[in-house]
Each structure stands twice: as structure tokens, then as C-alpha cells.
A and B are shown apart, each in its own frame.
Chain A
Amino acid sequence: MRLRKYTALMRSQIKVDLAYTAWYWASMFSVTMRLFILYFFWQAVYANKTDVSGISLSTMLTYAILATMIDQFRGGAGRDLARMIKQGAIAIELLRPYHLLDKLLAQDIGSKVSVLFRSILPLVLVSILFIGVDRPQSWLAGLAFVGSVLFAVLLATLIDLLVGIFAFYTVNIWGLSVLQDAVITIMSGAIVPLTLFPDWFQTISLYLPFASLVYVPVAIYTGEIGASGILQALLVQIGWLIGFFVLLRITFALAIRKVTVFGG
């Protein structure tokens, strides 16, 4: 079975993530702290008003918490690829009977599973027990939310890998990586809903893939994207997925010829 090697890679990535216990618990602790900071921040913003741009405190908190959760899944695979290229470990990877992109994807899924248990589960528990989040707009919205999150996480990985491939040409992609992080943080709606930005900014976001990463799934959950808009929102996400997948394959096939490994 061909898939077996990729599931094995996925499982081994989970083992790697579990290998450092102190780091594991520290990440769990820090993500929980972040949640409380968010809570007190929005409490302070809403201290003297009942809504901001028509959004109530409980909706805003729900948005912020869900966005934080989805944002935990961001990135990793592209940085791994860039590091392999920079340190020359790519030579070993190219000796293996697997497609490197598939391998990175499999490992990425593995690390996302780790994130699920290390960060998301505690976040869900804390927000339900101590903070309280709104229920999804409808059961349909809840279901669509789950699907939309899956698409969003996968899309984030593909974008990250595409940026990583640039290391074949430039070796160092630190600057590009920082830029990518900044753009995604703002334009995906990971901090505040995109509807709080000026109209022109929202129009730009409409034509870029970043909104699909955080804003779309959360807006489906909160009902900002109503029942009639759900299907279209999901289709746009799938469109971006297919587009980036094809672009990634082509770029990789071209870039692989550029491999240079000096010495050793």
C-alpha cells in the first residue's frame, strides 16, 4: 500500500512533537495564557459600550477565540523545507523513495494532529469552562465550520510550502517568511474580523486567498456569512486549494533542478 509510508511519516512526526516534554507543556500553558489575555483585552475595549461596529462583546470574544484556535495551525512545512535546503539535508531527502512535497504534507498533518491535542483541546476546554463562547449560528453553520477549518489549515500549509520553495533560488527566505507572517496575520482576520477594516481593504481581501485562512471559517460559525453564502465561501476555498496545489507542483518540479549541495 503506497499510502502506508505517508501515514508512517505522519505518525513519526507526532512522536517527534511528543519527544520534548517540557516544551509540550510550556506550549500548552502559553496558549492558554493567550486566551485569558484576549479575554481581558476585549473586556476592556467594551467597558463603556455595548457594541463595536455592530458587533457585541460575546460575538467578538467568540470570533477572537476561534480565530486564535485556527491560527495555531498555521505554518511549519515551508520552514522545514527552507531549512533542509539551507543546511543541505535536502540531499538525503532526495535519496528517498517518496515525493518530497507529499512527505512534507504528511508530516505537516502529523504536526497538526499534535497541535490539536496540545493547543486546541485545552483552548476549547478553557473557553467553555471559564469564558463562554456562543454556539454556532445553526447546526449547518457548525458543520460547514468544521469543513471550512480543514480547508483553511490545508491552504495555509500549501502557501507556506510555496514560500519555502523560494529557498531553492535564494537559499535564505527569512525576510520572505516574516513578510508572509505579517500579511497573513492581518489579512486573514486572525486578530480582528475583516469587517472592521475600511471598505477598500475588504475589497482587496476579497480577491486574495488570505481571508480563506481564518476569516471565512469563523464568519461561517458566527453567522456573519449567512446560510446563503456558505456554499459560495466553501467553493472559493476549494478553488484556492486547487490553484495553490497545482502552482506548488509546477514550481517544485522546476525548482528541484536548481539543487546545489556543496561539499560533504
Chain B
Amino acid sequence: MQPFAIKATGLTKHYQILQREPGLRGAIKALFRRTYRTKEAVKGIDLTIEAGERVGYIGFNGAGKSTTIKMLAGVLRPDAGSVRVFGLDPHADRVKNASQIGAVFGQRTQLFWDIPVQESFELLKEIYQVPKSEFDETLAWFREKLELAPLLDVPVRQLSLGQKMRCELAAAFLHRPKVVYLDEPTIGLDIEIKETIRHFIREMSDRWGTTVILTTHDMQDIEEVCDRVIVLDDGSIIYDDTIDQLKESFSHERTLRITLEEPVSFTLPTALINRVILFTTDELTYELAFDDRELSSGQVIKEIVSLYAVRDVSVSVPKMETLIRKLYQAGISA
């Protein structure tokens, strides 16, 4: 057993992008003389992921998430740096590595378009050389967990997005891979199916010790599935820590929202000045942000109701969504 599931050092990938002047003139010019611009999609990142870890890999569109995943999976050859997945070089040992990994690329299907789902699974069974008994056991289990039973004899092209994604997920886990790459598996799905999928990923990973790398734009996915989060911005890692640690570092922030009875000029009570940040939403609604180690919500409320007529009050703790947005902003300004 290797100490790490995935170890990457100095991983780099750049693309050549054809520069073309606009319009017909530019198009004709490009026929004779081509100029390329190099875009560094991934700029020398280091990663160490242990077996069984569930890692959320997030960042804006174009941050380099998919490119990284494709290098880890062996589809793309890194321009510099090295990757090992359970000791194998995924590009050089592509075929060998392929049998120990599974993947869902949210925007592409890996099932056979024209034939029923069941047949696609049977084919995957042969391709990954899954023993019959193991295959039957796994599939029986997936039928229940992903409610696949009514879908199995339907051709893939006739499935809805949610149905298709459940089948894709089953296909990715069918051969019980050691590592699963999930690139936006919940894109465009409704809440209920998202829930099913999140539960499924967690349960599979717990059961078989599968290492999961998940990219998504839905912070709920990260919160419910992952133990660790890596944030990528413009090709570099800007944050890498456990979810608990991330929450902890922001967990003392509170936001108090008050709505006044009538529009009056609102200023902070003297006791709160410099300890609270004030945001004005409209002439009746104000938001006050503070740290709960310095002030309690009760204190803040007391100070305000003693001076103003207040209709409504609510206190909120930070959400994952806000935490990540803060990280992005910190990363950009840094």
C-alpha cells in the first residue's frame, strides 16, 4: 500500500491559443500567418491526497480545475511536473492506471448513446474485467441506492438529465475504483437528485475507501461530501485545508439584520462604534457584522432597541457560500 493516493509536484499545463484578428480579414490572414498566445492553465501546483480522502476542488470557471483533473486522470500530458496515482504515472501507464480510476465528466456521457443502460453496464463489466459475482452484487446495490431499476432497459438518449447522471455515477463506481474524479456531477440537477448523488458518493467512499476528487460550483456539494477543500484561482492553489478548519476560521462571524419601524436616520450606538461594521440595505433595513468573541448578539440587539423602534431582527452564521467567496476575494487581492 502506497502512503499516498495522489501525489503531484510542480504540475503545469499550458495551451496554445490561436490569435485571430476579428472579421473576415482576420480569418483570411490567419490562413497564412498564425500567431499563438500561450495560456498557462495550471501553474506548477503541488498536491498530496491520502487514500480515502474526499477532496473538494473548487474555483471559478477557467481556473484550471478540469485541466488538473484531466492530468491526474492521464488524459492530458503535463508540460512539467509529475503525478503519481497509487504509484503509477497516469499518462505513461495510461491503460494500467485507467483500471484503478473512475470518472464522471458532468458535460460528457460515458455510456453508449444508442443502447440500453444495462447493456452499457455489461460492456463496462467486460472492459474493466469485473468478476460476475462482484458485478451482480454492485449492480443490485446501485439499483437500490440510485433507484436505477426503471432506467436499466431504456436507451441512454431517452433519459432525462437527472436519470442520466445517476447512471453515469453508477458507471463510474461500477468497477470499485480506488480513485474517482467527479467533474461537476451535479450540474443542472434538481435538489432531490443532488441529495441522492451526494449521499451515494459519501456512502461509496465510506464502504470501499474510495478517494474522491470533486469539482463543483455548488458549495452544498462540498459541505456534504468532502472533508477537505482545495481552492484554485488562475492556475494556482490559494487555499488547501480541511472543511472544519475552513469553517472554524470564519465561524465567529455573525451578521445581525434589523428592520426599523419607520425611516429615521440610523447611526451606530456609541458602544458599538469600531466593533461593528454597518451595511445599509435600504432606508429601513441595516446589516451589522461583528465577531462573537468580542460582542454577543444579545448585547448588540440591546444597544439598538434602546435607541430605535425595531420591527424585526435576525442573526445569521456564515454559510459555506460566503466563506468561499471571501477566499476568492482574498486570493484575488493577494
A residues at B contact (CB < 8 Å): 4-5, 7-9, 12, 15-16, 19-20, 88-92, 94-99, 257, 259-264
Q: Are A19 and B77 in contact (CB under 8 A)?
A: no
Q: Are A19 and B114 in contact (CB under 8 A)?
A: yes
B20 nearest CB across to chain A (Å): 15
**CB of B96 closer than 8 Å to a CB of A:** yes
- Taking CB atoms, residues of chain A closer than 8 Å to B126 are 4-5, 7-9
C-alpha gap A262/B66 in the complex (Å): 9
C-alpha gap A8/B108 in the complex (Å): 22
Residue of A nearest to B77 (CB): A257
Q: Are A95 and B73 in contact (CB under 8 A)?
A: yes
B residues at A contact (CB < 8 Å): 15, 66, 70, 73-77, 94-96, 98-99, 101, 103, 105-110, 112, 114-115, 119, 122-123, 126-129, 155, 183
- Taking a contact as CB atoms closer than 8 A, the residue among B15, B98, B108, B112 that contacts A264 in the complex is B108
Chain B CB within 10 Å — which of A19, A88, A90, A257 has the most?
Answer: A19
In the complex where A96-B98, A264-B107 touch, is A91 in contact with B123 (Cβ < 8 A)?
A: no
Q: Are A88 and B108 in contact (CB under 8 A)?
A: yes
Show 13 A/B contacts (Cβ-Cβ < 8 Å), sorted by A: A4-B126, A5-B129, A8-B126, A16-B114, A19-B115, A92-B109, A94-B75, A94-B94, A95-B110, A98-B98, A98-B127, A261-B70, A264-B183
- Per DSSP, are chain B's interface residues mostly helix, strand or loop, or mixed? mixed
- Taking a contact as CB atoms closer than 8 A, the residue among A96, A97, A263 that contacts B66 in the complex is A263
C-alpha gap A95/B119 in the complex (Å): 19
C-alpha gap A257/B75 in the complex (Å): 9
Q: Are A12 and B115 in contact (CB under 8 A)?
A: yes
- Taking CB atoms, residues of chain B closer than 8 Å to A90 are 75
Q: Are B15 and A260 in contact (CB under 8 A)?
A: yes
- Taking CB atoms, residues of chain B closer than 8 Å to A16 are 112, 114-115
- Per DSSP, are chain A's interface residues mostly helix, strand or loop, or mixed? loop
Q: Are B76 and A261 in contact (CB under 8 A)?
A: yes
B270 nearest CB across to chain A (Å): 54
- Taking CB atoms, residues of chain B closer than 8 Å to A257 are 77
- Taking a contact as CB atoms closer than 8 A, the residue among A5, A8, A20, A91 that contacts B75 in the complex is A91
C-alpha gap A16/B122 in the complex (Å): 14
Q: Are A97 and B119 in contact (CB under 8 A)?
A: no
Q: Are B75 and A261 in contact (CB under 8 A)?
A: yes
Q: Are B123 and A95 in contact (CB under 8 A)?
A: no
C-alpha gap A262/B75 in the complex (Å): 12
New A-B pairs, 20, CB < 8 Å, besides A19-B155, A92-B105, A94-B98: A4-B129, A5-B129, A8-B126, A9-B126, A12-B112, A16-B114, A20-B114, A91-B75, A91-B105, A92-B109, A92-B110, A94-B74, A97-B127, A257-B77, A259-B76, A260-B76, A261-B70, A263-B66, A264-B105, A264-B183
Residue of A nearest to B109 (CB): A92
Q: Are B123 and A8 in contact (CB under 8 A)?
A: yes
A253 nearest CB across to chain B (Å): 11
In the complex where A92-B105, A97-B99, A260-B15 touch, is A8 in contact with B66 (Cβ < 8 A)?
A: no
Residue of B nearest to A89 (CB): B108
C-alpha gap A98/B129 in the complex (Å): 11
In the complex where A259-B75, A259-B76, A261-B75 touch, is A95 in contact with B98 (Cβ < 8 A)?
A: yes
- Taking a contact as CB atoms closer than 8 A, the residue among B70, B112, B122, B127 that contacts A91 in the complex is B70
Q: Are B119 and A12 in contact (CB under 8 A)?
A: yes
Q: Are B77 and A259 in contact (CB under 8 A)?
A: yes
Residue of A nearest to B157 (CB): A19
